[in-house]
Structure 1
Amino acid sequence: MSASGDAFKVSSLKGKVTLITGASSGIGAGTSVLFAKLGAVLALNGRNLESLQKVAKECKECSGGVEPLLVAGDLTDEDTVKKIVSEVMVRFGRLDVLVNNAGILAMGGIETSDLATYDRVMDINVRSVYHLTQLCVPLLIKTKGSIVNVSSITGMRPVPGILAYCMSKSVIDQFTRCVALELASKQVRVNSVSPGVVATNVFKSAGLDEKQNAKLLEQCKQIYALGRPGEVDEVAHTIAFLASDAASFITAVNLPVDGGYHAMSPKETLTV
C-alpha cells in the first residue's frame, strides 16, 4: 500500500455511522468534533441538550455542513436507550461504531461514601453501557463494526477517595475483554481506552473546587512519566485509531492514555 493509502487508513472514518455517548462535554465532545473532521456520520448523546447542541454546531462546521443526529437523554433510563438505537436506525439504517463514553465521577471511599452513590455510579458507568451495547450489537454485527469503551487508568491503578468510580472502570475493562471475545468470530472489534488525568470538568462536576483541581493537575507533573496531565484531543485521537480500519487486527485491548502512569512505581499514586 502507498504512503498516502496508509495515511488514509489511519486517519479517515469517512462515512462511518458513529454513536457517541456523553458527547456534550469533555472527551465525548472532543471525540465528536474529531470524528466529524474525519468524515464520520454522527449520532450524539448527552444529558445537557444545550451543551450537546453547541457540540453539534461545531461538528457541523467541521464536516462541511453535515448535521449530527442529536439523541439527548439519561442513559440510566431504559426507554431512552431504546429510543436512541431506534432513532439511529430510522435516520441512518446502520451503525458502524459505538463509543461508550458517558460516565460520572463521584467522591467517596469505603468509610465516607454510601450505597446511593455506589448505585448511581454503577448505573451510569456500567449498567447503561451494558444495556446500550447489548442493543447495538445486532447492528454492529451487520456492519462488522467496532466498539470503543472509555474506561480510566483508575481501573488499573486504584486512586484513594473515588472507590465506586475505580470499581466501575475495572468492570468496563473486563466487559471490554469479554465482549471482544464473544464477538470476535463475527468480526466486531471491541477495545477500550484508559485516560489518566485529562484537563476537563469531570473533577469539578464531582465536587472538587478550583484549588483542589489545580493541586491534582500539579501532581501529574510530578508522578506522570511524561510530566503533565493529558489533553482531550490526545484521548480522542486514540479512540479514532481504535475505531478505524488502522486497528483492524486489534481487539480486546485496553490502551492506557496516561502519560506512562500505569507503569510507574505503585508508591507514586495520585490522591484526590
Structure 2
Amino acid sequence: MDFNNKVVVITGASSGIGASAAVLFARQSAKVVLVGRNEENLNKVAAQCETARGIRPLVVRAELDTDADVEAIVSKAIEEFGAINVLVNNAGVGVCGSVLDGVGPYDKVMATNVRAVYLLTSLAAPHLIKTKGNIVNVSSVAAFKPIKDADYLPYCVSKAALDQFTKCVALEMAQHGVRVNSVNPGGTRTPFAENAGFTKAQVEELYKARDKNYPLGKMVESEEVADLIVYLASDRARSITGGVHVIDNGESLM
C-alpha cells in the first residue's frame, strides 16, 4: 500500500489507535495531519512519523467540540498540503453515566463522538470529492450491544449513531466516488479507559478480565486497528464502502 503524495487527516492522533494509524500512514509515505488536544503528545507522534519517511506532519491542536477548531483543521490542512485524500475520524470520548444522570453525559459524548464527526466530514467532503478520497470512522462494538462492565450508555448510543452516519454518508458520497467505512474495535489496549475516569488499578483488572474472557483470549492492540484503517483507506479496498468492520477477538459473539 502506497500513500505517496496523499494527505491523511487523523483526529485523536496523540495516543492509542490514532497515533498508531498516523505512524503507519507515514511509513506508507503519506502526508499526515495530526489532530488532538495534547500538543506535547502530538509532537512526539509527529517525530515518529517524520522518522519513518522524512515527511514532516502538520500538527493541529484542536478541541473537537469547538466549531472554530474543527473548521481550522480543514483550512490548515489545505493551506499546508493543498488537498485532503483521507479523513480518519478517530477521536472519541467515553463518559460513564446512566439514564438517571440526566443529559449532561449524553451531551458531552455526542458533541465529540457524533457532532464533531458530522461537522468535520461536511467541511472535508468537497476536498475529498476533488481527490476521490475516502473516510474511515472509528466506531466500536459498543454500537451493537451494551457494555456490561461499565455504565457507558451515552457512549454506546453515540457509536450506534456513528455507524448509521457512516452508512448514510457512504450512500450519499458514492456518486462522487468517495468511499466511507467504519472500523469497530472491541476492547483495545489504549489510554481510553483511564481518560474515561477509571483508575490505573481498575484498568488493569478490566484488562485481565477481558484477556481471560474474550473468545480469542486477548485484547486488541492499537496497531492491529491501525492496520485495518490503513487497508480500508487504500486502493486495495476500492470496492468497499458503507461497511462496518469488526475487530474484537470475538467479543461481539458473547
Same fold (TM over 0.5): yes
Query: Aligned to 1:67, which of 56, 60, 72?
Result: 56
What secondary structure sits across from 1:74 in the alignment?
coil
Q: Does 1:151 align with 2:128?
A: no
Once the two structures are superposed, the pairs formed by residues 171-210 of structure 1 within 5 Å of their partners are: 171-210=161-200
Matching residue of 1:225? 215
- Alpha-carbon contact 2:29-2:55 (below 8 Å) kept: no
**AA matched with 1:220:** R
What secondary structure sits across from 2:188 in the alignment?
coil
**Which digits, 9 at most, give the CA deviation of each residue in 1:78-114, with x for residues without a partner?**
1111111111111111110000001111112223x33
Q: Does 1:235 align with 2:225?
A: yes
Matching residue of 1:6? none
Displacement of 1:208 in angstroms is 1.0
What secondary structure sits across from 1:159 in the alignment?
coil
- Alpha-carbon contact 2:10-2:33 (below 8 Å) kept: yes
Q: Which runs of 5+ in 2 are unaligned?
A: none
Q: What is the alpha-carbon distance in structure 2 between the residues aligned to residue 178 and residue 159 of structure 1?
A: 25
Displacement of 1:230 in angstroms is 0.6
Relative to the length of structure 1, the TM-score reads: 0.90
Q: Does 1:58 align with 2:60?
A: no
**AA matched with 1:224:** Y
Matching residue of 1:25? 15
Matching residue of 1:49? 39
Once the two structures are superposed, the pairs formed by residues 130-145 of structure 1 within 5 Å of their partners are: 130-145=118-133
**AA matched with 1:128:** A
Matching residue of 1:260? 250
Displacement of 1:73 in angstroms is 1.1
**AA matched with 2:221:** E
CA RMSD, Structure 1 to Structure 2 (Å) = 1.1
**AA matched with 1:55:** V
Deviates more, 1:30-39 or 1:114-123: 114-123
Q: Does 1:85 align with 2:74?
A: yes
Relative to the length of structure 2, the TM-score reads: 0.96
Matching residue of 1:105? 94
Bigger CA radius of gyration: 1
Q: What is the alpha-carbon distance in structure 1 between the residues aligned to residue 50 and residue 214 of structure 2?
A: 36
Displacement of 1:211 in angstroms is 2.5
Matching residue of 2:110? 122
**AA matched with 2:23:** V
Q: What is the alpha-carbon distance in structure 2 between the residues aligned to residue 13 and residue 153 of structure 1?
A: 28
Q: What is the alpha-carbon distance in structure 1 between the residues aligned to residue 249 and residue 104 of structure 2?
A: 33
Q: What is the alpha-carbon distance in structure 1 between the residues aligned to residue 36 and residue 11 of structure 2?
A: 6
Displacement of 1:76 in angstroms is 1.1
Displacement of 1:13 in angstroms is 2.2
**Which digits, 9 at most, give the CA deviation of each residue in 1:2-55, with x for residues without a partner?**
xxxxxxxxx322221100001011111111011111111111110111111111
Displacement of 1:209 in angstroms is 1.4
**AA matched with 2:175:** S
Structure in which a larger fraction of residues adopt strand? 2
